[in-house]
Amino acid sequence: MDPSPHGEIPKSFNTNRRTSVSAEALNPAKLKSESWKPPQNNLSTTEEESVADSLKNNFLFKQLDEKSKKTVISALESKNFKKDSVIIKQGDEGDFFYIIESGTVDFYVNDVKVSTSSDGSSFGELALMYNAPRAATVIAVTDVTVWALDRLTFRRILLEGSFNRRLMYEDFLKDVEILKSLSDQERSKLADALSTEKYQKGDKIVTEGEQGENFYLIESGTCQVYNNKLGEIKKLGKGDYFGELALIKELPRQATVEALDNVIVATLGKSGFQRLLGPVVDVLKDKDPTKVQDPTIVH
């Protein structure tokens, strides 16, 4: 973000840039019927672990299932760029998504340096997602090695993964009794907004007294609900939900929910909860299985 001399684009860089973008349109419903196969490159175990660690917090890839993540990692190819090389030019068509294996890069927007990234960072996904021109120029500050994922593989894996994930969640939501009043369209929107979280035995999913930021639906596994005053309150399993009272009334969590075995939950943040579950909020509020039936607690 420093517009000092180091924040100026190198004089040797040609700022003339293309702005036309032409990318393939993909229909996720047809993907499975096609014979396309992703590229497979031979990464070492150490390289795979390094890439997986870099991708785990990426907002796109963290929602993929394990199979899709492995497909992404296998499809990556190594590319080397010398110091001062232009990796991406603002306005160009996007062709690759990049993960920095080693080295440092600077980002420029309209010839002004805006940020710097190094080992483990990723960039380039937005142009591939939206068929938009590159939003920034990326220049190697040092010699740089990156892992690159081509546009077609990127879009195929993400679209197919998102499509399969939506179908899975739609089927799951149909079996949640409290959500049966939602229309198909409302259910689809909810499915797209859910995130997956995994917990092991003994993990606390929510803790009594903490402020709530998420609503939870149990996909699999068993949980115990308890609080300090009443002890064990109830066990929860697949299709049960919890956490909405803290969002509706902005109260601290009234109980702790602990995983009794391996548990997978679908989560919905506060804004998504208010936007997507308005039609069933009153019913959820009355039937919350973690609601403590104690007259000393104000709901």
Q: Report the alpha-carbon distance of residue 153 to residue 147 in Å, rounded.
A: 13
User: Does the annotation place 244 within a ligand binding site?
Assistant: yes
157-173: b (≥16 Cβ within 10 Å) or e: bbbbbbbbbbebbeebb
- Contact present, 120 and 57 (Cβ < 8 Å): no
User: Does the annotation place 253 within a ligand binding site?
Assistant: yes
Q: At what angle do helices 66-75 and 45-55 cross, to 10 degrees?
A: 120
| H/E run at residue 186 | helix 184-193
Pairing assessment for the beta strands 112-117 and 122-123 based on DSSP bridges = unpaired
Q: What are phi and psi of 2, to 5 degrees?
A: -95, 110
- DSSP letter at 272 equals H
- Residue carrying structure tokens 């909810």: 190
User: Does the annotation place 134 within a ligand binding site?
Assistant: yes
**Is the four-CA dihedral 208, 236, 190, 151 of positive or negative sign?**
positive
| H/E run at residue 204 | strand 204-206
Q: Report the alpha-carbon distance of residue 64 to residue 168 in Å, rounded.
A: 12
- DSSP letter at 25 equals -
Cβ partners under 8 Å of residue 29, min gap 6: 163
Q: Binding site for 3',5'-cyclic AMP: residue ranges?
A: 125, 134, 244, 253
Q: Binding site: residue ranges?
A: 125, 134, 244, 253
